Amino acid sequence: MKKSIKHFAVVTMVVAVATMGMFMTGCRNRNNYDFTIGLNQFLVFPAACDSTEGFRTRLTELMDDAGYSVNFLYQNANGDAATATTIANNFLAQRVDMMFSVGTTAVNATIAAAAGAGGTTPVVFSSASNPTASQMLHPFTTGTSDVVDMTAQVALLRELVGIPTGGFYVAYLYSSDEDNVRAQGDMLVDAAAADGITVTRHGVTDVGQVTTRITAIQGNPRYRAIFTGQDNRLGTDAAFQMIGDLNANGSRPLPIMSSFAAKVAAGAAVLSMAPCYLHLGAMTAELAFRVLVGGETPGDIRINGMRYYRSPATALDLIINRTLAESFGMTIPQRMLDAATEVY
Amino acid sequence: MSIDVFLTSIYGALGQGLLHALVAIGIFLNLRVMRKPDLTVEGSFAFGGAIAMTMLAGGSHFAVVLMIAPLGGAAAGMVTGLIHTKLKIDGIISGLLVTMALFSINLFVMGSSNISAPLDTFVNTPIRLWLVGLGMQPFNALLTSYIIVGVIVVALVITALYFLFRTEFGLSIRATGSNEYMARSNGINTDSRKIFVLVLSNAIIALSGALVVQQQSGASVHSGAGILVIGLAALVIGEVITPKKANMLIKLLFVVAGAFIYFSIISVVIISGLMSTDATRLLAAALTLIALCIPKIKQLWKDRRAYGRT
């Protein structure tokens, strides 16, 4: 027993020396800025990266104009919840002036750490799908939500398909284990039902299942379009390219309406009316500026009676891929082309 | 970065290490005592977290939650055990099957893929408020409260295991792990011992899941992803530093130390900015590999000393 205590002491010493060594090499001076902001991003994903980028760019601009300097500490948890907690704790230990977070799990971890620390460090979140249900609203938090108005999306679908009145079928393709796309699906189904359109859910838990889904959808003549949500699994470039290829080379190509503008540009989807995440990030930066420089309490900032920005029409981009639509033998109505932010 | 930032970072790692140490203990029971790998870990961890967060969101008291969540893990372990022993399916396959099934069950339990509960319902709240009442700075109180929760839970689990393995039943479990055929020829029902260890280890892992999701303030269906590697790394790091002639108690304590070291290293690497967080998984894998290699290197060193240069 005595020997093991001695052993334990030696081991502790070695570990202490090793970590001290890392600490010494990692020493940096971060105190020359007016504001230091910790960015806790859950994973590398276009929407999340754009939100962070939009936030960083806009806040730097605002701070420059006001004559302040700002420093960003960027950390990405790589989809690991334990790392998200470590990052939040480290930011608090470094006494950052504010924490920015994107991705539900990282936002929750950041808020939990900040709340436990007394709620003195403000937290701003960006592009959250449901801030209320995810327990994100506290006196020290504010942010933006990427929830979009589904009624407008349904009207757009109807115009795209070219059936002015009466019912038709739309397939909603999504990852059934992602919270926001499930919620988005519910809203889409309700909004479509009000307009007489039937939306059926086609959930997958693996990218590989998309093949059977697309084949089944194309094989059923009732379907006139495919709608894909703000999906982290199907939204990756590789997965979406696969969806586009399967659809274009299938027995009956259908117009795909995506929630990501980039998929239209890449030629995988015909149309998208989606939040511009750079814009949402920039809006989050404006909230952050009001808190840091304006001295406002985050929880008191209310827009339209809500404690967070809900993605407004100004933050939505309508992107159309005319070439792809024409290769399917479809014509896009001129009114839509006029209203589009960009046409390929 | 000043010295207190560094120390706070290590201090935070202590809390995370203690809560994740339970996973390493669960893996220890399977891999070292029973000498059979079990892949139910990631499923039962997420299952424990899912049950805990759903109950907390529904208004249950954390004490009740921490008793129910392990039962979920125990049930998962029971299913794996029954598939393995009664249907004679390979242990790894049965663990995988249960983990796959638990993915859907977790979605069913939570009703969505992410769920959170109000922060003041969590297990650390009374301790945190008490520490703040004593005049401790809130952030230190937060970190300390999880360390206290971790110490209490880990101490309870280790004490229970220590006494369990001293009983005749406990010894029969170790005998089954050491030599199944010999144990059976001595009249031990090896199937029941195997099932028991799977039930026990997965209950402990689910308890860890229930605590960790509270620290992270939210459960997700992906909570369990990567947890097997974290637990295994903690176990292996702990074993490398364990003295040679250690009894069960010392072994378990060093497993806990291994979890702390794992999280300290990750935390210090992140805060020092030496490596991007993109590299943390690579670092974890490298750490585990080094820990696995150390005994081999020690042996080489010894051989060299004994036989001289050749």
Instruction: Please check whether residue B267 is in contact with residue B13, taking contact to mean a CB–CB distance below 8 angstroms.
Output: yes
DSSP secondary structure letters along A170-187: EEEEEETT-HHHHHHHHH
Helix (H) or strand (E) holding A91: helix A81-93
Summarize pLDDT for A298-343 with one digit per residue, the tens: 888 876 656 677 666 566 778 888 888 888 888 888 888 888 888 8
Do strands A316-320 and A309-310 pair parallel, antiparallel, or not at all (unpaired)?
unpaired
Q: Which residues contact B150 (CB under 8 A, 6 or more apart)?
A: B14, B15, B17, B18, B19, B21, B211
Summarize pLDDT for A116-133 with one digit per residue, the tens: 888 889 999 988 877 887
Flag if B8 and A93 touch (Cβ within 8 Å): yes
pLDDT at position A22 = 56
Distance CA A44, CA A87 (A): 15
Flag if B277 and A82 touch (Cβ within 8 Å): no
pLDDT at A27 over 50: no
Flag if A135 and B243 touch (Cβ within 8 Å): no
Instruction: Please check whether residue A184 is in contact with residue A230, taking contact to mean a CB–CB distance below 8 angstroms.
Output: yes
Q: How far is CA A144 from the centre of its chain?
A: 10
pLDDT at position B148 = 94
Flag if B277 and A134 touch (Cβ within 8 Å): no
Interface of A with B in 188-247 (CB under 8 A): 205
Summarize pLDDT for B251-308 with one digit per residue, the tens: 999 999 999 999 888 888 777 777 776 777 788 788 888 888 888 888 888 888 888 7
Mutate which of A177, A187, A201 to test chain B, going by most B C-beta atoms within 10 A? Answer: A177
Summarize pLDDT for A66-81 with one digit per residue, the tens: 999 999 999 888 888 8
Residue B229: how many other CB atoms lie within 10 Å: 15
Report the side by side order of strands in the sheet with A256-258. Answer: A198-204, A169-175, A223-228, A256-258, A271-275, A316-320, A342-343
Instruction: Please check whether residue A281 is in contact with residue A50, taking contact to mean a CB–CB distance below 8 angstroms.
Output: yes
Interface of A with B in 277-316 (CB under 8 A): none
Helix (H) or strand (E) holding A256: strand A256-258
Average pLDDT over residues A240-262: 85
Mutual angle of helices A2-25 and B3-28, in 10-degree steps: 130
Enter the tokens of residue A149: 């108005």
pLDDT at position B86 = 94
Size of interface A-B (CB pairs under 8 A): 173
Output the CA angle B50-B56-B59, nearest 5 degrees: 140
The interface predicted TM-score (ipTM) is 0.70
Question: Which of A94-108, A126-140, A160-174 reaches the highest mean pLDDT?
Answer: A94-108
- Closest Cα partner for B229 from B18, B23, B82? B23
Residue tagged 């230990």 (tokens): A93
Enter the tokens of residue B261: 């070291």
The burial of A1, by beta-carbon neighbours within 10 Å (0-12 exposed, 13-18 middle, 19 or more buried), is given as exposed
Do strands B219-220 and B114-115 pair parallel, antiparallel, or not at all (unpaired)?
antiparallel
Q: Which of A23, A84, A120 sits opposite B272 (nearest CB)?
A: A23
Do strands A271-275 and A316-320 pair parallel, antiparallel, or not at all (unpaired)?
antiparallel
Summarize pLDDT for B145-177 with one digit per residue, the tens: 999 999 999 999 999 999 999 999 999 999 999
Instruction: Please check whether residue A279 is in contact with residue A104, taking contact to mean a CB–CB distance below 8 angstroms.
Output: no
Instruction: Please check whether residue A123 is in contact with residue A284, taking contact to mean a CB–CB distance below 8 angstroms.
Output: no
Mutate which of B139, B144, B147, B247 to test chain A, going by most A C-beta atoms within 10 A? Answer: B139
List the end-to-end C-alpha distance of chain B, in Å, as a whole number: 49
DSSP, collapsed to helix, strand or coil, labels residue B115 as strand
Enter the tokens of residue A240: 């979406």
Q: How many CA atoms lie within 13 A of A35 on its CB side?
A: 26
Enter the tokens of residue B76: 């998962």
Mutual angle of helices B190-215 and B3-28, in 10-degree steps: 160
pLDDT at position A25 = 52
User: B8: phi > 0 → left, psi -120 to 50 → alpha, else beta; which?
Assistant: alpha
Q: What is the CA radius of gyration of chain B?
A: 20
Q: How many CA atoms lie within 13 A of A117 on its CB side?
A: 25
Q: How far is CA B205 from the centre of its chain?
A: 5
pLDDT at B200 over 90: yes
pLDDT at B206 over 90: yes
**What are phi and psi for residue A205, nearest 5 degrees?**
-115, 5
- pTM exceeding 0.90: no
Instruction: Please check whether residue A77 is in contact with residue A99, taking contact to mean a CB–CB distance below 8 angstroms.
Output: no
Summarize pLDDT for B43-81 with one digit per residue, the tens: 999 999 999 999 999 999 999 999 999 999 999 999 999
Distance CA B156, CA B260 (A): 18
Interface of B with A in 197-226 (CB under 8 A): 212, 215-218, 220-223, 225-226
Instruction: Please check whether residue A32 is in contact with residue A26, taking contact to mean a CB–CB distance below 8 angstroms.
Output: no
**What are phi and psi for residue A300, nearest 5 degrees?**
-90, -15
Helix (H) or strand (E) holding A9: helix A2-25
**What are phi and psi for residue B257, nearest 5 degrees?**
-60, -40
Flag if A90 and B270 touch (Cβ within 8 Å): yes
Distance CA B149, CA A17 (A): 28
pLDDT band for position A111 (50/70/90)? Answer: very high
CA distance B267 to chain A (A): 6
Flag if A82 and B212 touch (Cβ within 8 Å): yes
User: B35: phi > 0 → left, psi -120 to 50 → alpha, else beta; which?
Assistant: left
Residue tagged 């009894």 (tokens): B247
Distance CA B10, CA A126 (A): 29
